Amino acid sequence: MTALRAAGRFLRRYGTIVWLALLLPLAIWFGYRQRADLAKTWDLMLHANPGWIISVLVLEVTAFVLMAAVYGLVLRHMGHKVRLSLLVNIHLQRVVVGAVTPMGGPSSVVVFVHRLRQRGIKPSDSLLAAAIKSVTGHVAFLLLLLPALLLQDPTPLMLLSAASISVLVIAMATGLRLVLRRQKPPAFILHRLPRRGLRLLAQLRQHEIRIRALILPFAYSLVIKASGVLTLWFCLRAVGFHGGFGIALTAYVIGIIFGVMTPVFQGFGFVEIGMAVALQKMGVPAPMAVGATLLSRMMGLWVPLSIGILVQFVDAMLARWRARMAPSLV
C-alpha cells in the first residue's frame, strides 16, 4: 500500500512530464517514418469532404448528449430529476478534467460527485450512477469487440486485451449485481468490508433498482459506442477511402484497447498511433489512415475538450461577475 501511495503521489506530481517524455520520442519517430506521407495527409484533411465532416459533427453531438442522458436516466430511477443541460455541462467538465490530468478517470468522477452534491444529491447516489454508466459502457464495448475479433485475424495483443477487458467487465458487472440485488450479500463479503464500506453498501441498496431499469441506459451506451465506429467510418470517407464498415470497426476497437492500456490523458498519442497503424495494416493508404484517425480524434476528443474549456471559462467569468454584482444588489 505504501508503494501504491508513493506511485500515486509521483504520478500526480510528475505525470505530465513522464507522459511527455514517453510521447514526444514516439511522435518524433512516427513523424520521421511518415514524413513523406504527412504532407499528403495534411492536404487530404484540408480538402476533406465537408458533407461527411458535418455528419461527423452531428453524430458526435448526439453521442455526447446521449452520454449525459444515461446519467439522467439512472438518477431518475433513484428519484433525482436533473436537467439534461446541467448534465451536459457536468460531462463537459469531466472531459476537461479527464483530458488534462494524469489518470483522469477518478478525478472526473470526483468532479461529477461534487457538482451533483451541490444540487443536493448524495455522493453515494452519484457514485452508483457513474458505476452503472461505466458498466453499461464496457458491456456495450464488448459487443463491438466480439465481431471485430471475427472480422480480422486477431493478434496475440488483441486476444490478451480482449481477455483482460472481459475479466474486468465481469468483475464490474458482478459488483454491480451485488449492489443492486435484493438478497443479503454473502457473509464472507460482509465480514471483510469495513464499517464505512457497509454503510455505503446500505445507502446504495436503498433505491432497489431493478436490472430491467438498466435496459435503456445500456441501449444508449451501445448507440454511443457504435457512433464511435461510425465517426471513424465517416472520416475515412471524408478523406476519400470507401472501404467496408468492418475496417472502421476493427480500427476503432484497437484504438479503445490502446486507450484502456494507457488510461492517462485519454490515451492521447497512443490511441492515434494504434488506430492509424491498424488501418494501414488493413489496406488503407497511409495518408488516408492518418488523416481519418486525426479527424476522428479531433471530433471525438478535441472538439468536446475545447467546448468544455470554453464553457468552464464562461461559467467562471459569470460567477465572478455575479460575486461583484451581489453587494450592489443588497
Residue 22: inside a domain: no
Residue 152: inside a domain: yes
Give me the number of domains the chain comprises: 1
Residue 32: inside a domain: no
276 is in which domain, residue-wise?
49-313
pLDDT for res 260: 72
Residue 7: inside a domain: no
Residue 11: inside a domain: no
30/194 Cα distance (integer angstroms): 49
Residue 16 has pLDDT above 60, yes or no: no
CA-based nearest residue to 263, from 25, 1, 15, 29 = 15
pLDDT for res 6: 67
Listed ranges 31-35, 97-101, 120-124, 223-227; the one with the highest mean pLDDT: 223-227
Count of alpha carbons within 13 angstroms of residue 218, beta-carbon side: 13
CA-based nearest residue to 38, from 49, 51, 28 = 28
pLDDT for res 158: 73
330/327 Cα distance (integer angstroms): 5
Residue 31: inside a domain: no
Residue 125 has pLDDT above 90, yes or no: no
Q: What's the chain's length in residues?
A: 330
pLDDT tens-digit series, residues 219-267: 999 999 999 999 999 999 999 898 888 899 989 988 888 777 766 666 6
Give the least confident one: 99-113, 173-187, 205-219, 266-280: 173-187
Residue 4: inside a domain: no
pLDDT for res 190: 57
Residue 318: inside a domain: no
pLDDT tens-digit series, residues 140-194: 888 888 888 877 777 777 777 778 878 888 887 777 777 666 666 666 555 565 5
